[in-house]
Structure 1
């Protein structure tokens, strides 16, 4: 038997051989780089230290660094659960069982959803505010003097919030424009089409109201001929926006005037370019007719931007501020380049202006808790610029702190949080001046800026922090150091995470191209280097947005957000997206970065316990599909998708995974098992018997964001079974709760099983009602394949049914959905299909203007669209699943290697059981694998229908050939 056990190799020898084996990896370029500055936010390059994140635009003349701090959110500490909601639970269940879904959802909407902020007082406040603003009609008059009004280009398809001056604006805004009446339209009634508006409008022509709608419907109003005048006619629109997107938000061609009786075809995208601007096509006859276009420049006046606080379930993650550097221009710019070096977390902008080579270097230091900008030139006395701070928030104060420091402070609207930033400047040579508006440096040889930010957030229950003191302390500490020392500490701290893993898939013809060009060419040329760059970039993003000691895990956008009303609040969506953010953390050797997630789970156990009691009258804890900084656990948004009960169970799986990879029994006992047990306790009490089948089922719930409120969605049961199985295993490891484990096993055996439907598909619901033409982004019933484990080659019928479901659902989707499919096809051992999904994920998201799709932006941010970071994290995890799988207690080497990646090496990939592997393959075949045991567990290795088993010693490394022979 001893011959079958692999002998331990001396550690020093392994280190030497590993160095030789991976020399190509260290030489690999790990940079995103471009030949032009950013044109938009998703071109900018991200930096972050886990708490503060910045987006670097990189312009040579006016640099913009938009930055965030992880605890700046709207809202305040409050209770989210609705006390007594459980009284309606039985009624909803019965309605669902009776097939009365809409009635059940109506009960849920009225009585079962969580509490909104300001829900008790809003109606009265709104009525008083609306009465006041709607009484103002003077701007509708033709003779009204709007000469002092500003101008705006309409429509603003993504809402007026994206327009400078409108950031975060809610309230009442007036718009005015004129049009010339064509002579042949005299005496005709006309249609005024303004497209969609958010939320309510009062629309006037020549001082007379022609229409009003409250809602996002299309506006098509009749202008009676008697209102019209020869020559110029005046249009005035008062838009009343209560919250979120505001203004005229349709396609430009939907803003037009034309004769009554004609109905223009909606012309969008390529079709719109084939028709002259002053023409449209009639839907009925297909004939072209003349229109007067209204898109373009309008005048506007913000009448009132202080509406009462709109009732909302969740808070929004907020942008903090912007740092602007206005560089003194001396000549034309040549040899421009910007880059992000993810090997050491430094970003750069370089260019030549008037014969001088300039370099700007950017870092976000975790040890010193600052962002830094270091500016140099290759000739003395050539650095001159003004540094300014700007924020979109209100109640803003900017002041001089001392001869080197500027401070910015503000308060979040309708919230409890304050933000403070300190900007410290140092210069060698030249002159440095600080005023109450900015910092000026002129004639310097070198300059360094340090920026920090903080809020008064301490915990989800405590906002008594002192951001001024935090910023002052951080600046005081860093100003005593040299930039070289700050940079060195930053790189060392970053690389202790980043350097644990390396990967290469070989070189391609596009290696030397700028990153944006590589993305555009990826699907038409061979570029395996972009795959490894994407994988490492995803690790960079997690290191930058989730650090031990952070108060908040990576959210929907990681750490980066530039909008006061960000997509989906940039919060934590717990029906896949938050969990996906951490899918690759364990496998890709970033286990320590899960701490902020698990810290949030500790809080959610408390709020989830209150929610379980209020909404279900059960013990344990529950988490629905969204949460935020204030740790709300109640159902939110709408009953048809917000009443989903398995968030706590799913997030508990992340804790169990951490134990499986690390074998940290102390963590299992102190953090993981209490969370798992509490989540299981909830379902022991909450599962009910299906009157039709006798099975236990989860109800009411839903298959995330698809199909409405139901009884027994497949995903729920897969998650609950996995939770029970893992909790039993954890209790066995800890030697505790034998009776509870017995209860879990009994319940496990009674839960409704996976079912195969009439199309041979894995059913998404208890009823066989799947639609083979349905291409919904969520593939929730695939959870049992990934991240779950109950469907595999060991269950061939279910696996084949799952494959059919995946084919029916299709290969397209939003970015995170595509990333999930990479993982799923890899788990189903179809590497080529998994790689096909990867090619879709790495396709350009915004190649066609105004028609974004799932893929990546120029800066490799994932596109939902818009930006969601889960596709980055999930995509990298999926590539890892192609190389190594360990979910069944064995190390499966290259289980789903695609033909497109025939050659490669990976160093530092991790497996359950506490193993770290180095793997090398050529021409699609394994060459060598080194396995380090960090926990001394028995090891089973599978490759190419071969298997080897051996015992290991903690800290020892074992080497195998491609045929799994000892080396």
Structure 2
């Protein structure tokens, strides 16, 4: 059963609970028979309002910081950075839990109180045949158990249509016949001391916070049979045959009267009933979930390892649908998946549970288009739009530049000023540059020119910032002598290679004048902006200037060790096993380094990976997920599988969440992208004419000898189905989902197939002949 997660006991800790979500509302369900707990989230509950944190001392200090870096006085430059470039205050807003729904369930109606100490023991005795299940294909959580000759069941989903959480309580005899009057429970909402009001209104119970971003969490119960009473912020049901509990959360981020909005939605939902709400919920979910399918056959009799991989593939797709589904709220207030997607039990979570944009937020969306879930990126584009005016202010106030920029983190408000006093990360100015590349990637996958035209200004403005910010600089060779091109290189100064450090004159330093990741991102950014302008027919003076800038950005260089050089200087790494692979951006998520086009750089990239691993690199869940992708891009299927196994073994929690540690969802999504890239990869080359290059089964490991994947997408708006047996391609189908013809080259091993993929109807596929004929 690769579409389900099944357990035979309740969750004892949060990492064992199971997630539900509709992109806005989230819940982690524990499944205790007598004391059920749902930890709740709403994606716009953050710690406070927007603040302008731009440091006004930055602009005046920038020339001095650059001078100190050029003179090799790194520690002095770093001290000045801490004073003049740090945000004031240094912290951004943090994402917070909405609290908990606590349900005391007891057939005899003797509940006690969860905090009173009266009945601290089990509320239900003699529990047997317990089962807890998350049905991924229906986005349905179910708890069932037997007690006293009765089978009790709780089913829960969060609708992406009605935008409400629905929990059904039912009971039946062990013979399958209905059991009347067996449903009794007391339900209430809690959030420790972090709320202002609690009470009952019109048959509903609620808690409200009225500071920061205010919000209301509210529940309402509709039942068949028995009685109900509400007081003290609780709802108590006695002797019902069946009961439906509805829950909603609304915040002041999106609506002024959030309490009234909750009550209105609950009343509307309660009138409709389980069957109608559940039917439309499943239909909506399956329009996304059923788009892709993976089947793997391994060499074992029980197919256990292959099934676990497929279940993980399905679970990660389920998570992306559940935490980044558009349509619940107005576009301008959509929020993307954060460090924990949607699910966070803390008031002050690790790293603020925000948007870390030096890898983590980007990794969240690596699989979106390739797994046929392109619309899940819409909340990300909404956040970038929210960042834009703030980023223009940061560019001007702090650096005296046009365009827009952001540093290594942002929050609900699109804050673009540096966060924290952290030299290895805070002062990196390419956060927006990397984020907007998702606009270009989205276009390459969808070929949606209307979309590209709509968002082109963000690509352009990100480039314009660097037109003003870049300064002439040099690289050194292996002997430490400066290189001397006809025109000086342009470099980002000050900068850092995200979160990494190097040795300089017996000291550890992070600040630098140019690093390899900067060069690779900027080459991708300016190249994308130029291509986009040509596609949209908008060549202008800016585009010509972009071409000039691109010609002066350094190409990747090889370190004396044979690896890709991480900094523009021939520095020695302070932490050779560092978790980031920033200097391999051009291998993945970029595509400038390839085995066929740049073999020397590909070999150097492989050397970089080997050096990292030899020093115990890949020691976080998301870092290991990056390694799956990097190995896949080097067509090393066995290495990719070993990294995937390491994720399953060392970085996967009982509920299949990926752990840094602690839990970070980017590891799930990075691994999902990696599995997909082991089966299909793509890139587009635009000169002399646009052409899509697709690699079929480029990193297929021996342990997946036979299988099928269908519904995945590659660039060019092409949808694939691939079938293989005994390690060999049997056939593939390719469908052009767009409205224009596109040249395509597909490759499997040394076999090449070229065609012009014309727009096709639902029944018209391009089908390769069996591989024996290729």
TM-score over 0.5 for the pair: yes
| Residues 1:592 and 2:397 are matched in the alignment | no
- Aligned equivalents of 1:630 and 1:423: distance in 2? 28
Equivalent of residue 541 in structure 2, options 730, 734, 739: 739
Equivalent of residue 827 in structure 1, options 633, 643, 648: 633
Who is 2:436 aligned against?
Answer: 652
Number of aligned residues: 711
- Aligned equivalents of 1:705 and 1:740: distance in 2? 32
- Aligned equivalents of 1:828 and 1:554: distance in 2? 29
- Aligned equivalents of 2:599 and 2:213: distance in 1? 54
- Aligned runs of 1:327-342 on 2, under 5 Å? 327-328=105-106, 329-342=123-136
- Kept in 2, the 8 Å contact 1:946–1:964? The answer is no
- Kept in 2, the 8 Å contact 1:380–1:445? The answer is yes
Who is 1:925 aligned against?
Answer: 728
- Kept in 1, the 8 Å contact 2:33–2:124? The answer is no
Who is 2:765 aligned against?
Answer: 957
Q: Please give the per-residue CA displacement for 1:676-728, whole angstroms capped at 9, x wherever unaligned.
A: 11111111111111155421111100000111111111000000000011111
Moved more, 911-920 or 810-819: 810-819
Equivalent of residue 708 in structure 2, options 905, 922, 946: 905
- Aligned equivalents of 1:952 and 1:788: distance in 2? 25
Match of 2:165, SS state, is strand
Match of 2:237, SS state, is strand
TM-superposed deviation, 1:913: 0.4
| Residues 1:529 and 2:307 are matched in the alignment | yes
| Residues 1:91 and 2:64 are matched in the alignment | yes
- Aligned equivalents of 2:422 and 2:263: distance in 1? 46
- Kept in 2, the 8 Å contact 1:660–1:912? The answer is yes
- Aligned equivalents of 2:283 and 2:390: distance in 1? 38
TM-superposed deviation, 1:795: 1.0
TM-superposed deviation, 1:476: 2.1
Q: 1:964 to 1:735 in 2, by over 3 A?
A: farther
TM-superposed deviation, 1:753: 2.3
- Aligned runs of 1:637-786 on 2, under 5 Å? 637-638=420-421, 640=423, 641-671=425-455, 673-690=456-473, 692-693=482-483, 694-707=488-501, 708-771=510-573, 774-786=576-588
Equivalent of residue 79 in structure 2, options 86, 103, 106: 106
Who is 2:477 aligned against?
Answer: none
Match of 2:683, SS state, is coil
- Kept in 2, the 8 Å contact 1:393–1:411? The answer is no
Who is 1:383 aligned against?
Answer: 183
Q: 1:608 to 1:965 in 2, by over 3 A?
A: farther
TM-superposed deviation, 1:582: 0.4
Who is 1:227 aligned against?
Answer: none
Q: Please give the per-residue CA displacement for 1:763-785, whole angstroms capped at 9, x wherever unaligned.
A: 11112223497111111101110
Who is 1:580 aligned against?
Answer: 363
Which blocks of at least 5 consecutive residues in structure 2 are unaligned? 107-122, 173-178, 475-481, 502-509, 685-691
- Kept in 1, the 8 Å contact 2:298–2:705? The answer is no
- Aligned equivalents of 1:799 and 1:330: distance in 2? 61
- Aligned equivalents of 1:90 and 1:535: distance in 2? 49
Equivalent of residue 879 in structure 1, options 636, 651, 675: 675
- Aligned equivalents of 2:300 and 2:699: distance in 1? 25
Q: Please give the per-residue CA displacement for 1:224-274, whole angstroms capped at 9, x wherever unaligned.
A: xxxxxxxxxxxxxxxxxxxxxxxxxxxxxxxxxxxxxxxxxxxxxxxxxxx
| Residues 1:477 and 2:268 are matched in the alignment | yes
- Aligned equivalents of 1:502 and 1:468: distance in 2? 41
TM-superposed deviation, 1:603: 1.1
- Kept in 1, the 8 Å contact 2:207–2:218? The answer is yes
- Aligned equivalents of 1:947 and 1:47: distance in 2? 44
- Aligned equivalents of 1:714 and 1:364: distance in 2? 44
Who is 2:643 aligned against?
Answer: 837
| Residues 1:858 and 2:658 are matched in the alignment | no
| Residues 1:115 and 2:88 are matched in the alignment | yes
TM-superposed deviation, 1:739: 3.0
| Residues 1:396 and 2:179 are matched in the alignment | no
Match of 1:505, SS state, is strand
Equivalent of residue 425 in structure 1, options 221, 236, 239: 221
Runs (4+) of structure 1 moved beyond 4 Å?
Answer: 507-511
Who is 1:409 aligned against?
Answer: 208
Who is 2:324 aligned against?
Answer: 546
Q: Please give the per-residue CA displacement for 1:814-838, whole angstroms capped at 9, x wherever unaligned.
A: 0010011110110111111011110
Moved more, 525-534 or 381-390: 525-534
- Aligned equivalents of 1:562 and 1:639: distance in 2? 26
Who is 1:494 aligned against?
Answer: 285
Q: Please give the per-residue CA displacement for 1:875-901, whole angstroms capped at 9, x wherever unaligned.
A: 000111101111242111111111121
Match of 1:702, SS state, is coil
- Kept in 2, the 8 Å contact 1:397–1:410? The answer is yes
Q: Please give the per-residue CA displacement for 1:385-424, whole angstroms capped at 9, x wherever unaligned.
A: 1111111343432211123x11221235xxx211201201
Who is 1:442 aligned against?
Answer: 238
- Kept in 1, the 8 Å contact 2:7–2:133? The answer is yes
Report the TM-score, using the length of structure 1 for normalisation. Answer: 0.72
Who is 2:93 aligned against?
Answer: 315
TM-superposed deviation, 1:331: 3.1
Equivalent of residue 696 in structure 2, options 871, 887, 893: 893
Match of 2:559, SS state, is coil
Who is 2:665 aligned against?
Answer: 869
TM-superposed deviation, 1:361: 0.4
Equivalent of residue 813 in structure 1, options 603, 615, 619: 619
- Aligned equivalents of 1:619 and 1:362: distance in 2? 50
Match of 2:67, SS state, is helix
- Kept in 1, the 8 Å contact 2:626–2:670? The answer is yes
Q: Please give the per-residue CA displacement for 1:24-77, whole angstroms capped at 9, x wherever unaligned.
A: xxxx53101111110100000000011000000011110000000000001212
TM-superposed deviation, 1:358: 0.9
Moved more, 600-609 or 324-333: 324-333
TM-superposed deviation, 1:864: 0.5
Match of 2:369, SS state, is coil
- Kept in 2, the 8 Å contact 1:585–1:594? The answer is yes
Who is 1:82 aligned against?
Answer: 55
Moved more, 714-723 or 548-557: 548-557
- Kept in 2, the 8 Å contact 1:338–1:348? The answer is yes
- Aligned equivalents of 1:821 and 1:962: distance in 2? 32
Q: Please give the per-residue CA displacement for 1:153-205, whole angstroms capped at 9, x wherever unaligned.
A: xxxxxxxxxxxxxxxxxxxxxxxxxxxxxxxxxxxxxxxxxxxxxxxxxxxxx
Who is 1:465 aligned against?
Answer: 256
Match of 2:572, SS state, is coil
Higher Cα Rg, which structure: 1
TM-superposed deviation, 1:507: 6.3
Q: 1:940 to 1:648 in 2, by over 3 A?
A: same
Q: 1:785 to 1:49 in 2, by over 3 A?
A: same
Report the TM-score, using the length of structure 2 for normalisation. Answer: 0.90
- Aligned equivalents of 2:574 and 2:511: distance in 1? 21
Match of 1:703, SS state, is coil
TM-superposed deviation, 1:79: 1.3
Q: Please give the per-residue CA displacement for 1:58-104, whole angstroms capped at 9, x wherever unaligned.
A: 11110000000000001212213223521111111111111111111
TM-superposed deviation, 1:469: 2.1
Q: Please give the per-residue CA displacement for 1:922-967, whole angstroms capped at 9, x wherever unaligned.
A: 111111111110123222211121112212321342111342869x
